[in-house]
Amino acid sequence: MADKKRIAILASGFGSNLQAIIDQAQNIDINGEIVLVFSNNENAYALERAKKYGIKSVSFNPGQFESRQQYDKELLVLLKNEKIDLIVMAGYLLLVGQEIIKEFSNKIINVHPALLPSFKGIHGIKDAFDYGVKVTGVTVHFVEEDLDAGPIISQEAVIITEDDTQETLEEKIHKIEHKIYPLAVKYFCNGRLAINGRKVEILKGE
């Protein structure tokens, strides 16, 4: 087996997807190790989760720098110093800087609470619910410069029923996120994701 991939989690809030990935890594061998949790929000509960498991946690925000470019540069230095192989977005509410995306091309993944390319942006669940669609879902994708536009790794549909509220739909969505996102991390760490243009093939393996 190849060396374990070094994973950085970027989060701005509660960190439930971070917890799902931690749980997955504890239960099965994903060939990866979370070595860094970064947040732009010093009060993010995700940082507390990191500390609980002895994972290095770092926080700073754009307001501490003269420009957004300097913030992104500092984050890029941190990621490179930690020799990160995979960046996992887990409720990180800022756009990733272009230099970071270039440096970590095809090494940044995100989970989106809708079936892309529908309902892009940070309100995917609310937008789908308000639009009245009967089916929404979860998308795991690679991150590119355009918002929610990178090649899709996996998707799973969620049925919206007559008695669903936005809150019950959120619960359904998060349940699926916590199932398919850790799997995508495992596939990446085991070299099972092959990108060909817009298509991502999940290669056979354990």
User: Which residues, listed in sequence order, are joined to residue 160 by a DSSP beta bridge?
Assistant: none
Q: Show Cβ contacts of residue 53 under 8 Å, excluding neighbours closer than 6 positions.
A: 22, 34
Which segments of 31-134 are extended strands (E)? 32-39, 56-59, 86-89, 108-112
User: Which residues, listed in sequence order, are joined to residue 33 by a DSSP beta bridge?
Assistant: 6
Q: Which of 136, 139, 121 minimizes the C-alpha distance to 181?
A: 139
Helix (H) or strand (E) holding 193: strand 193-196
Helix (H) or strand (E) holding 17: helix 16-27
What is the spatial distance between Cα 119 and Cα 130, in angstroms, rounded to a whole number? 11
Choosing from 112, 123, 174, 178, which is the catalytic residue?
112
Annotated active-site residue 112? The verdict is yes
Token pair 């440096």 is found at 103
Active-site positions read 112
